[in-house]
Amino acid sequence: MDVTPEQAKAGMDLWMGWAQHGVGGRRGHLAEGPPALPLSGRVIDRSPGVRHHPGDVARVAELGVFDVLHSLRAIREFEPDPIPDDAIATILEAGTRAPSPQNSQPWAFIVVRDPATRAQIAEIYRRVWNLVKEPVYGDIDAIEDRSQRRLLQATDRLAAAVDEAPLFIFAMLDRSKLGVMVTPDLQTLLEPSSAYGAVWAAIENMLLAARALEVGAITTNLTRLMDTEVRQILGYPEHVETVSMLALGRPRAPARFGPTTRRPVGEVGHSERWGRPI
């Protein structure tokens, strides 16, 4: 995915347009929480001879790592504008920077932009979601816990229109990369958690990179149920499996990045032994 100067220019203009005219402006994304922090933005110096990290092309300004970590929300509603190729390359590149057991890098990624393919896959996703929805969650509109109810309703809306996202990235586990960590027939993982974990670390890196580029994303978790059918569409071999399908796009208001709600460290952290407060 080489980028010509013209493409880079076009990509940059697009990003600058988003930055200037996006939902609430760049500063607006943290508006619900503490006063917005000054973003650690910087304009990339493109003078001849100046070298950058791979993927720098798309970066007009760079957010601080904690700004990104603390404002990464799942985005489930997307604007239809395509994500520029250089942004996609930057996101995938971030994925490849993840750690993996013995640096095996057991991941692979399939980028799906084609509307017809997205529609086919969306149809499968919708069918699988509708299959599990009631048996697993019952009547989601009747769930008492408000945040759980809203989350499942949002998932339901996502399933109805996931291909509104202009970009899918399939994050896959490629068992042929696992060396001694898989049986020679590539069927049995010796350390399943670490193998899948490497792909999930790559996914987290991609979510963070996407958020830094103002691209929203949601990871989907029904991929095991979809795998047989999706495999026929995307043509991946037997030793490869989908770990998660990511749907990506520019957040459509009211969806936006911002502070997230999590159980505090005091609840999930323990000091020296289980149960001792931190």
- Enumerate residues 3-32 that contact a second copy by CB under 8 A: none
136 makes contact with a second copy (CB under 8 A): yes
78/244 with CB nearer a second copy: 244
Q: How many CB atoms lie under 10 A from the CB of residue 11?
A: 22
Give the binding range for a second copy (CB under 8 A) out of 20-28, 120-128, 148-156, 250-258.
148-156
Judged by CB under 8 A, the residue of 83, 87, 94, 248 near a second copy is: 94
146 makes contact with a second copy (CB under 8 A): no
* Size of interface with a second copy, in residues (CB under 8 A): 101
Give the binding range for a second copy (CB under 8 A) out of 4-12, 53-61, 123-131, 159-167.
53-61
232 makes contact with a second copy (CB under 8 A): no
Give the binding range for a second copy (CB under 8 A) out of 6-14, 86-94, 157-165, 247-255.
86-94
Measure Cα distances from 32 to 29, 35, 37, 71 in Å.
Answer: 8, 8, 12, 11
How far apart are CB 277 and a second copy at their closest, in Å?
8
204 makes contact with a second copy (CB under 8 A): yes
How far apart are CB 238 and a second copy at their closest, in Å?
11
Judged by CB under 8 A, the residue of 180, 184, 185, 254 near a second copy is: 180
How far apart are CB 213 and a second copy at their closest, in Å?
10
Residue 8: Cβ-neighbour burial (10 angstroms; 0-12, 13-18, 19+): middle
How far apart are CB 235 and a second copy at their closest, in Å?
5
Contacts of 43 (CB under 8 A, 6+ apart): 60, 61
How far apart are CB 215 and a second copy at their closest, in Å?
13
Measure Cα distances from 16 to 10, 38, 74, 144 in Å.
Answer: 10, 18, 23, 43
How far apart are CB 26 and a second copy at their closest, in Å?
14
* Dihedral sign from CA coordinates of 256, 264, 157, 225: positive
Q: How many CB atoms lie under 10 A from the CB of residue 267?
A: 10
159 makes contact with a second copy (CB under 8 A): no
Judged by CB under 8 A, the residue of 10, 37, 140, 161 near a second copy is: 37
Query: What is the separation, in whole angstroms, between the first and last Cα of the chain?
Result: 47
Judged by CB under 8 A, the residue of 86, 244, 247, 256 near a second copy is: 244
Look-up of token digits 């798309």: 58
Question: Residue 23 and residue 14: Cα distance in Å, rounded?
Answer: 14
Measure Cα distances from 50 to 43, 44, 53, 213, 262 in Å.
Answer: 13, 10, 10, 21, 41
Residue 111: Cβ-neighbour burial (10 angstroms; 0-12, 13-18, 19+): middle
Look-up of token digits 């929480």: 33
Give the binding range for a second copy (CB under 8 A) out of 8-16, 17-25, 94-102, 247-255.
94-102
14/110 with CB nearer a second copy: 110
